Amino acid sequence: MGVDLSASHRESHDAAQAAREVIELLEMLWERGRDAVSPAPVSTSQLRVLYVLERGDGINLRTLGEALGAAPSSASRLCDRLQALGFIERAPSEVNRRERQLRLTSRGESYLLDLRVRREEALLSAIATLPPTTRRALTEGLTGFRGAVDAVAPMPGATRLDETARPA
């Protein structure tokens, strides 16, 4: 018995479309949360810098640029604004005196924590309206999706969902 590839392809297409729609909704929620956390909200690119530094404390600009898929000069400009906001600091490298290490400051860590709390509150209010079986299915589906993304396009410094209790 052969597998109906067209049905499989259609299911994948439908799932991709549903995921895209959810991502667009999440982006709108995320923007609201980011605007509420700080009077000087960071851009999406700057937020990516904060996430990378959170996972790779003490990395240099070259490594940051590689993680972002950007030139070190572009990464440096992103860091300039984040440093001006007090979210990151540049310190001399302990290994190479010519390099600077990038680290989140306590203010940067607090920003990410507050942002995650606001985002989780927004998600909880929506998820709480779902019936228990749908919530379980959502958890299972998102966990599977995360594993599939990790397998196809792992994020630099990312941890597996089941290895950390902290939401992304």
pLDDT tens-digit map of 55-75: 988 899 889 999 999 988 899
Write the CA distances from 45 to 59, 81, 117, 129, 158, integer angstroms: 17, 11, 20, 32, 17
DSSP-derived secondary structure for 57-111: TTB-HHHHHHHHTS-HHHHHHHHHHHHHTTSEEEEE-SS-TTSEEEEE-HHHHHH
Q: How confident is the model at residue 46 (pLDDT cuts 50, 70, 90)?
A: very high
49 exposed, middle or buried (CB, 10 Å; 0-12, 13-18, 19+)?
A: buried
**Tokens at 122, concatenated:** 């927004």
* 132-147 pLDDT, tens digit each: 999 999 999 989 988 8
Tens of pLDDT, residue by residue over 22-42, are 888 888 777 766 666 665 678
What is d(CA 52, CA 67) in angstroms, rounded to the nearest whole number?
7
Give the three-class secondary structure for 160.
coil
Q: Which residues pair with 101 in a beta bridge?
A: 91
| Average pLDDT score over residue span 73-84 | 93
pTM of the model: 0.71
User: Rounded to whole angstroms, how far apart are CA atoms 57 and 108?
Assistant: 12
pLDDT at 33: 64
Residue 157: name the closest of 68, 39, 70, 40 by CA. 68
Whether the Cβ atoms of residue 57 and residue 67 lie closer than 8 Å to each other: no
Count of Cβ atoms closer than 10 Å to residue 159 Cβ? 12
* Number of C-beta neighbours around residue 58 at 10 A: 13
Mean pLDDT of the chain: 82
